[in-house]
Amino acid sequence: MKNKSEKAKRILSSAILMFASLGMLFPFFWMVKTALMPNKATLTYPPKLIEWPIVFDNFIKVFTSTGLSRAVLNSLFIAVVSTAGVLFFTSLAAYAFAKIRFRRSGFYFGMIFATMLIPSQILLIPMYVLFAKIGWVDTYLPLIVPQVMINGYGVFLIRQFMVGIPDSYIEAAKLDGLGHFGIYWRIMLPLSKPPLITLGVFTFIGNWNNFFGALIYLDSEEKFTLPLLMNIFRSQYTVEWGTLMAGATITVLPLIVIYLFAQKSFIEGIAMTGVKG
Amino acid sequence: MKKTLCIALAFVLAFGILAGCGAKETTSASPEGSSGEPTVIRLALMNAETEIAGWEAMVSAANAKLAADGENIVIEIQKINATDWPEYYQKVAAEMAAGRAPDIGRVAESFMPTLIDRGQIVDMTDFVNNELDQSQYYMKTFENAGYVDGRYYGLPSGLYNYVLYYNKDLFDAAGIAYPSSDWNNPTSFEEIEEMAAALTKQIEGGTQFGFYSAPYMAEVGMYSKSKGGFSVFDDNGNPIMNSAVTKDVYNWYDRMLTSGTMPTPTSTDIMDAMTMFTNNRLGMIVDGTWYLGMFGAMTDTLNVGIAAVPGAKGAPSYTSQFVDSFVMFTGTKQEAAAYKALAAIISKEGFEALAATGVGGIPVQREVSAAVTDTLLGDKFSEDGKACAKNSLDYTLKVPYNAFYQQADEKVNNMMGEWMLGQISADEFAEKVQDILLAYKAEAEK
């Protein structure tokens, strides 16, 4: 009897989860479906679940009429370098704040944390002026360096995790002759994999999708990133939905692949750090 | 330790690459007139795949004209891939703050008051009055939001205005006459209501509606003007949205909303009005001439006619115009060359090249306008419809953009649902609109 009710419960929860999953997947399905339709047919009524014939014109247009491959490389470059930089520097800072006692560490941590409270719009003009003065406008540096150097969210996330790692590991490592960097590199980093992967995925996604920063700081077409490039399919009065969705499909593909590879650690990281995206 | 070294080196390498991607010096920062090298004038343009070819053609023609005239000036386009004008403005404003703004640019009419107020664009009155051959242009179109206190701050890049599009097949099926294409004797508001009722019926998958016109201030304003009132503000600049005439207009909308002959926000949330129209589910829609090209390409599935927007019986009807402008940004060090570049851009050759691509609306250069309207409309519309679209230029009405119009308009649009879904009456809504405008006006006058 108990078995039966448990089985029923499991079936019910599976059905609910499956239904919710379909709900989550539906926008992706619609995006791909719209991308495979002629632009003219994207707004026909009543809409059909599957539109025949399937056409690849939108993908061809995206690949041929724009500098797509260059934009993909540009986005990839920014996202990879930013993610690597953010992970390295934030984890270094997090280690210091979590495990090294030094004067006013709380104050410095508070200062870094406080940077999260400043709305980015307020900083837009002063930062642009500063970057223009040092010749960084129309380079990728303004899109990478600030977040790598000061990342309150990342430092906070990893510090909270590192605080929970027993000090005895560090004491043992010191007895084995490791210095701070050795402890950080050989002990703390491997143990902090879950929050690092979580932060890595968030940082990569954020940079991959960063439209506004690229819009403001990049002028030369050959430096345009993918979100910036995709925006040309909207005009003041009309939107080419088919082409835009083809571009969006291409844009989200790498993110889906990354998520599939990192999903176990990503979910673990979210569960252990209490972060929700 | 080796690994650490590798990582450190990787970072050095990465930043080395980044440093290698150094910024190009912007040409506007250097003074004009250096010998030999051409003076480069940077033109900021919103980049949209459907339009950019047109602007590029216009700039190519302008460059060819400059070369033919013996000018050592080259116009280069700075493409700004913004989603909308506020994003475009943010980018240009940041560039201005850093002293590296483009020399010239194309700006939406709605942003002109802000740019003028903040002194971010150059007063071009002397150029317009002394250098420009005014006989070549529809000078009325210069009197848009970039024309303040008799001073010109922009040169029109083309004109759009509202017309009434109607679905001929739905009219034929309902057995009713088409709306009037005569701007001096338009279909009256009452007749539109009757036509809308005759066209409305239940069809497969929902309702076929009769009429749609978004009750934005620019549309309500032009209807009020056609009824003998004012468009949003009176002659002294005071808001007039709760006047008897404007309330009449709102109540006209209200009757069609409550009778179900015009789609409510509940319906347009599922499918916007233009999609309804292009899917033969809406009989009439008042919208901009920016859709002419799209309708022309849909003649296999849609049989569109063009008529004058609704007006008062026996009186002319007015249509709100939207004129984006070429401007010169304050701080350019190449003013003389920038004027020459602008003159070349808005030359006959420039407008011809632009118009050949079907981009930019109706050209404001007289010769090109006449030739191009025929090309743009081709044989896709009836002679009557084509004449109506052309004649609409004589009935245009300036949208009264000012320093707060845009913000007030957004606020009004955000609360429009309250009225359109029947939570408040049309009169109450008109009062609310008036209050919003008065509040913004008071704030602006502080």
Q: What is the pLDDT of residue B394?
A: 84
Q: Is the dihedral of CA B150, B151, B156, B162 positive or negative?
A: negative
Domains and CATH numbers, chain A: 65-273 (1.10.3720.10)
Q: CA-to-CA distance for B100 and B108, rounded, in angstroms?
A: 21
Point out the least confidently predicted range of A163-172, B187-196, B294-303, B351-360: B294-303
Spell out which residues of chain A touch residue B82, defining contact as CB-CB under 8 Å: 215, 231
Q: Which candidate from A132, A212, A236 shows the least CB-CB separation from B48?
A: A236
Average pLDDT value over all residues in chain B = 88
Point out the least confidently predicted range of A260-274, B136-150, B243-257, B263-277: A260-274
- Residue B130 distance to chain A (closest CA, Å): 33
Q: Which candidate from B50, B81, B271 shows the least CB-CB separation from A240?
A: B50
Q: What is the pLDDT of residue B23?
A: 46
For residue B29, what are the CA distances in angstroms to A215, B153, B331, B341?
21, 22, 9, 17
Q: What is the pLDDT of residue A277?
A: 45
What secondary structure does DSSP assign to B265-277, as a single string?
Answer: HHHHHHS-HHHHH
- Residue B282 distance to chain A (closest CA, Å): 12
Check pLDDT > 80 for residue B358: no
- Reported confidence tier of residue A85, pLDDT bands at 50, 70, 90: very high
Bigger pLDDT: B446 or B321? B321
Q: Which candidate from A84, A125, A234 shows the least CB-CB separation from B48?
A: A234
Q: What is the pLDDT of residue B393?
A: 81
Asked if residues B221 and B400 have their Cβ atoms less than 8 Å apart, the reply is yes
Identify residue A170 by its one-letter amino acid code: I
Could you tell me how many CB contacts below 8 A there are between chain A and chain B?
112
- Reported confidence tier of residue B180, pLDDT bands at 50, 70, 90: very high
Spell out which residues of chain A touch residue B100, defining contact as CB-CB under 8 Å: 132, 137
Residue B47: closest CA among chain A residues belongs to which residue?
A232
Cβ <8 Å between A140 and B21: yes
Q: What is the pLDDT of residue A233?
A: 74
Spell out which residues of chain B touch residue A134, defining contact as CB-CB under 8 Å: none
Bigger pLDDT: A17 or B300? A17
Spell out which residues of chain B touch residue A141, defining contact as CB-CB under 8 Å: 18-19
What is the tens place of the pLDDT at every residue in B261-294? 999 998 888 788 998 998 899 999 999 988 887 7
Residue ranges of alpha helices (H) inside B283-397 are 292-296, 335-345, 348-356, 366-377, 383-391
Check pLDDT > 50 for residue B17: no
Asked if residues B76 and B60 have their Cβ atoms less than 8 Å apart, the reply is no
Q: What is the mean pLDDT of residues B78-104?
A: 91
What is the tens place of the pLDDT at every residue in A105-158? 889 999 988 888 888 778 889 999 999 999 999 999 999 999 998 889 999 999
Q: Which candidate from A45, A81, A181 shows the least CB-CB separation from B275?
A: A45
- Reported confidence tier of residue B29, pLDDT bands at 50, 70, 90: very low
Q: What is the pLDDT of residue B386?
A: 85
Substitution target from A68, A77, A235, A240 for chain B, most B beta carbons within 10 A: A235
* DSSP-assigned letter for residue B210: E
Q: What is the mean pLDDT of residues B144-151?
A: 91
Bigger pLDDT: B88 or B15? B88
Point out the least confidently predicted range of B118-122, B187-191, B384-388: B384-388
- Reported confidence tier of residue B325, pLDDT bands at 50, 70, 90: very high
Asked if residues B347 and B62 have their Cβ atoms less than 8 Å apart, the reply is yes
- Reported confidence tier of residue A175, pLDDT bands at 50, 70, 90: very high
Q: What is the mean pLDDT of residues A214-219?
A: 94
The token pair that represents B131 in the structure block: 């250098």
Check pLDDT > 90 for residue B53: no
Cβ <8 Å between A216 and B94: yes
Cβ <8 Å between B205 and A45: yes
What percentage of chain B reaches a pLDDT higher than 70?
91
Domains and CATH numbers, chain B: 38-159+322-377 (3.40.190.10), 161-321+386-445 (3.40.190.10)
Cβ <8 Å between B275 and A43: yes
Q: Which candidate from B7, B19, B81 shows the least CB-CB separation from A228?
A: B81
Bigger pLDDT: A236 or B338? B338
- Residue A89 distance to chain B (closest CA, Å): 11
What is the tens place of the pLDDT at every residue in A15-66? 999 999 998 888 888 888 888 887 666 666 667 777 777 888 888 888 776 6
Q: What is the pLDDT of residue A235?
A: 63
Check pLDDT > 80 for residue A272: no
For residue A261, what are the CA distances in angstroms to A27, A254, A258, B23, B89?
22, 11, 5, 36, 40
Spell out which residues of chain A touch residue B48, defining contact as CB-CB under 8 Å: 232-236
Spell out which residues of chain A touch residue B91, defining contact as CB-CB under 8 Å: 215-216
Q: What is the pLDDT of residue B261?
A: 97
The token pair that represents B22 in the structure block: 């150094």
Residue B15: closest CA among chain A residues belongs to which residue?
A141
How many CB atoms neighbour CB B338 within 10 A? 27
- Residue A216 distance to chain B (closest CA, Å): 5
Check pLDDT > 90 for residue A218: yes
Identify residue B113 by its one-letter amino acid code: P
- Reported confidence tier of residue B12, pLDDT bands at 50, 70, 90: very low
Substitution target from B4, B13, B18 for chain A, most A beta carbons within 10 A: B18
